[in-house]
Amino acid sequence: MSNVNLSVIYYSSTGANYQLAQWAADGGRQAGAEVRILKVPEHAPEAAIHANPAWKSHYDEAKTVSEVSEGDLEWADAIIFSTPTRFGNVAAQMKQFLDRTGGLWFQGKLVNKVVSAMTSAQNPHGGQEQTILALYTTMYHWGAIIAAPGYTDPVLFKAGGNPYGTSVSVDQNGKMIEDVREAVIHQAKRTVTVAKWVKNGQQH
């Protein structure tokens, strides 16, 4: 049985999705994967970042996190994405990164990657499910294999029961409202497990 390489790729302005990414990395490691936590590049103006204390605080906190590269996608057998909701869609920073993957896609290097996604919004009906589904649309074009959590463990109901991927409501101060840690860990473990099946199946 070969080990699975897991890239956890996130965008976060005030830190919620960074926390989701850290929990996903924990779950991946518990499932035996080698894990990289990677951020997509920030392209918001510095004036906007500095005008929001929570955004500026997280921006400084995450300076030591490596930015994702195309090589991190090639390396990965499994990928977990985490992005805040922006009008029912992924954050522009995440979308810009995804739009840059055309070269790898053209070469067929994204086929059969096992992927899963997470998100956050300021309220439960702020587009959480739609954001994950929007991200998965790109994954269908990749030829990736989506490992959604579905209802595969009771911890998912405690977290709000989103079958497409863990989602969390975040208050005005950037604090999570629902307790989603165990759901994220379960989702990551499931993603790594499916990736093991795929990777080892391809090697036989």
Asked if 35 contacts 8 with a C-beta cutoff of 8 angstroms, the reply is yes
Nearest to 74 by CA among 2, 7, 3, 147: 7
Q: How far apart are CA 110 and CA 65, in angstroms?
A: 23
Looking at the domain that runs over 5-202, which CATH code has it been given?
3.40.50.360
Q: How far apart are CA 119 and CA 99, in angstroms?
A: 19
Q: Where are the domains of the chain?
A: 5-202
Cα angle 124-26-159, degrees, rounded to a multiple of 5: 20
Q: Which two tokens stand for residue 7?
A: 């890239």
User: pTM for the whole thing?
Assistant: 0.95
Digit-by-digit pLDDT tens for the chain (204 residues) are 579 999 999 999 989 999 999 999 999 999 999 999 999 999 999 899 999 888 899 999 999 999 999 999 999 999 999 999 999 999 999 999 999 999 999 999 999 999 999 999 998 888 999 999 999 999 999 999 999 999 999 999 989 999 999 999 998 777 899 999 999 999 999 999 999 999 988 776
Compute the residue count for the chain.
204
Torsion angles phi and psi, residue 4, rounded to 5 = -100, 135
Q: Which two tokens stand for residue 17?
A: 């999705």
Place of tokens 């500026």: 56
